[in-house]
Every structure is written in C-alpha cells, then in structure tokens.
Structure 1
Amino acid sequence: MPTYVAFLRAINLGRNRTFRKDAIKAATEAAGGTDVETYINTGNVRLTHPARSVAKVRAALEEAYAAEAGFDVPTIVFTTRDLAALTARAEEVHAGHDGEIGNHYVTLYASAPSAAAVAEVQALEHAEETVVVEGRAAHVLLGGDIHTSKLLSSRQFNALGQGTARTIKVLRTVTEKWC
C-alpha cells in the first residue's frame, strides 16, 4: 500500500478547534489508514492507505476528521516521494537566500495555485519578504516575524488559496522520519 503524509489545517489553535493526536490517529484509522504515526500536535500524520490517489486519501481523511472532531479539517496530502522532493526543493530555496532570512515557512496546498495568482504574488515587493511558489507549495522567506508580514496578509497571497503552513524545520523532520 502507498504511504502518504497528511498535513491538517487550523487545528489546536487555542481552545477552539481542538483535535488531539490520539483522536487524529483514531480518525485516520477509521478512514482506512494503517501504520499511522503523528508528529507534534499541529496535525502532521503519516499513514499507509489502499487508495492510489492523493485526492481519494484526502477525501477519506477529511470525512473521518470532520466526524471525529465535529468541525471541518482541511487536509493536504502528499505521497512520501512527493514530500521528499518538495523538502529537497525547500532546502534549495533556503540555501539560495541564506543570510537574508530569519524564518522560512512553506504553505502547502491541495492543488497548485493558478498561474495568474502565482504571478501576482511573486510580483510583490516587500522589504525582507520573498515568496517562491512552485507546484503545491509557496515558500515564504521572512527577515522578520510571521505575524507582521505584509506579504502573508496581502490579498495576492490569499488568492493562492487555502493552505496550511509549516516551518522548514518541521518539513525536514517529517521528511527524515517518514520519507
């Protein structure tokens, strides 16, 4: 069976939208996942699944997560091979901006943003803020803090679609553990 890594969006942010690791594991198994592992409490899940497409795995997980959590849990799914390639590319992007950045976040999407949205966001110019969008990932390189980023709060970035962000450190760790 293929192995996948799922990234859950907007869970465990304060008292609302709580979805703990044990409940995530149970819901993942209810969706047909086996060999389930989680990493930290922000919604990083490794699983094997009989479905042969990311879209089918995503649909099964989102249905099971909503049933277990009591709210919708948007989920971004990658094969381990695709995640390893994405993380390798993140390392290249990071190295290309070494010394210029303090924080490197990667926003992951269920499907690639439109070419028009990518062109608009990549045309933005904010001091110490860069975005590189490739496929289903937007690499956000910040000299400052995520909470004060003009790029991340821009209409153009939001036009890329609903995604979930992870630091490059989390992607490295998940890739080392599971890919």
Structure 2
Amino acid sequence: MRKILTILGALCAILFWTGAGETSDPVLSVTEIPAEIAASCADSAAGEAMTCHQSDFSRQWVAKTDRGHLFLVTDESCLGNGCRVWLVEKSAGSVVMLLTFNKIFRLHNGSGKYPVVESYTELAASQGVYSRYEWNGLTYTRTSSRPVYLVDGWECGTLKECRFAASEALKQQQVDRAVKIWENTHGISWI
C-alpha cells in the first residue's frame, strides 16, 4: 500500500509540476523550427562576414511561460559577426519567433517569465552597440541602446567614458594611448 501511495504521489507531483499534457523535459524538434529561421542562412546579405554551410540548429530551453516554453535557437554552422540567435515560444500547436538578436548576448531574469535580453553588435572594428530588449506583455521591444568604442581591442565605453579614459591617459603621460582613443572616437590624430 505504501508503494502505491508513493507512486501516486510522484505522479501527482509530476503532473502538478509540468501541467496537464506536458513533459518534464520540454523539447523543440528541428521540424518545429519556424521557416523564417530555417531559411535565414540562405537569405543572409552578400558580403556579410558570415559563412553558411548546411544549418546545424541547436535548441536550448530557457523558461516556461503561461502560453508554453521559450527556447533559444542558434545555427552552430554560422561563423562570423552576422550570426543570429532566435528566441522562440512553443505553445500548443505552434512555434512563434519572438526576437532575433546577435550571437553575443546575455539573458537576465526580468519582472515576469520572459527574460531580459542584452545583445552586442559590432558595427565596425572600433565601434559596437549594446541593445536591451524587454517583454512588454505582447512583444519584445528595445528599451535601450548604448554605443561603445573599442581601442586596440579594449572597450573604453561610451563617448563620455572614452573622453575620460583619454584624459586619464594624458595625466599618466601615455600620450600614444590618448591619441589612439581620440582617433577612434573623434577621428582626431593629434591632441
């Protein structure tokens, strides 16, 4: 009798934890990937710094929502700066793409069940931008965008932060460093 009660208790716990008709290990199969994602490599712009071979999509579960489950989809065969990541939501009978962003990103817990997405996009060898996307109840919207500058592979920050870094370099008599910062941020090759 004790074994039967234990088994029934475990089954009730599993049903309560996952919900009716769901598994405890949500999966997004390759055949469920939305068509616009599957075709993305073929549609990429010519001249963009990426290489496409046969797509190799990885799917990673992110969170459970009221409507279903969130997954990150990445094309592991994509190389270069133009590679994208897709956040999709799988619900009963459909898979919907919610957001696409660059492959350099972080997810943070938001106020709800949808994570905050922060991504980095390289604009040039000396410039990039951090974008923040938040769920507004219906869709993801960009809530902030912060341009940053890079000097010799080092991120000095926003224009104001780089100006401060150049001033500090001058105070420490690192004139070459200050000049490089000014060249990358303002196009000025002298101080």
| TM-score of the superposed pair, with normalisation by structure 2 | 0.25
Greater strand content = 2
The structure with the largest alpha-carbon Rg is: 2
Greater helix content = 1
| Greater relative contact order structure (CA < 8 Å, 6+ sep) | 1
| TM-score of the superposed pair, with normalisation by structure 1 | 0.26
